[in-house]
């Protein structure tokens, strides 16, 4: 009687294919992120040439733009610019993010700050 044994390569081949697929997906994802960050960096470079009044209309300052470009080239500067603009907009309307303790947004009497 002849015993049929499975080939050794057929057992390891799916694992290897799975590994190669994961590496390719990871490489494609990182490449896509770098391309998106590069495009957004080019678009944000327009802000670096903008006048201070234009930046103020957007809720940004010159130092915000400098801070956004101080990161590595593969990071998206629009994340910093968006968060700084949002911080200023919220503070202008006296809205807190909920991260401050109640004592920072209220008077000792318990009443909210008023100007």
Question: What does 78-94 look like in DSSP terms, one character per residue?
Answer: HHHHHHHHHHHHHHHTT
Q: Does residue 62 sit within a domain?
A: yes
CA distance 101 to 33: 36
pTM (2 d.p.): 0.56
Per-residue pLDDT of the chain in tens (115 residues, 90 and over written 9): 566 766 555 555 688 888 999 999 999 999 999 999 899 899 888 888 999 999 988 889 999 999 988 988 888 888 889 998 888 888 776 665 555 555 555 555 655 555 4
What was the pLDDT predicted at 59?
86
SS3 106: strand
Note whether 68 and 80 are within 8 A (CB). Answer: yes
What was the pLDDT predicted at 47?
86
What was the pLDDT predicted at 76?
86
What are the phi and psi torsion angles at 112 (to 5°)?
-70, 160
What was the pLDDT predicted at 115?
46
What was the pLDDT predicted at 35?
92
Q: Does residue 81 sit within a domain?
A: yes
What was the pLDDT predicted at 78?
87
- Residue 24 sits in which domain range? 13-97
Note whether 69 and 77 are within 8 A (CB). Answer: yes
Whole-angstrom distance between the N-terminal and C-terminal Cα of the chain?
96
Closest to 87 measured CA to CA, from 102, 97, 77: 97
Q: Does residue 87 sit within a domain?
A: yes
Q: Does residue 22 sit within a domain?
A: yes
Q: Give the chain's domain count.
A: 1
């Amino acid at each position: 009687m002849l015993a049929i044994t499975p080939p050794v390569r057929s057992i390891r081949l799916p694992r290897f294919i799975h590994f190669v697929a994961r590496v390719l997906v990871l490489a494609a994802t990182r490449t896509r992120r770098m391309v998106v960050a590069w495009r957004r960096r080019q678009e944000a470079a327009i802000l670096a040439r903008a006048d201070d009044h234009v930046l103020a209309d957007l809720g940004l300052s010159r130092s915000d733009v400098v801070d956004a470009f101080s990161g590595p080239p593969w990071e998206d500067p629009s994340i910093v610019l968006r968060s700084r603009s949002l911080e200023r907009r919220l503070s202008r309307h006296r809205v807190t993010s909920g991260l401050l303790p109640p004592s920072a947004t209220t008077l000792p009497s318990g009443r909210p700050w008023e100007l």
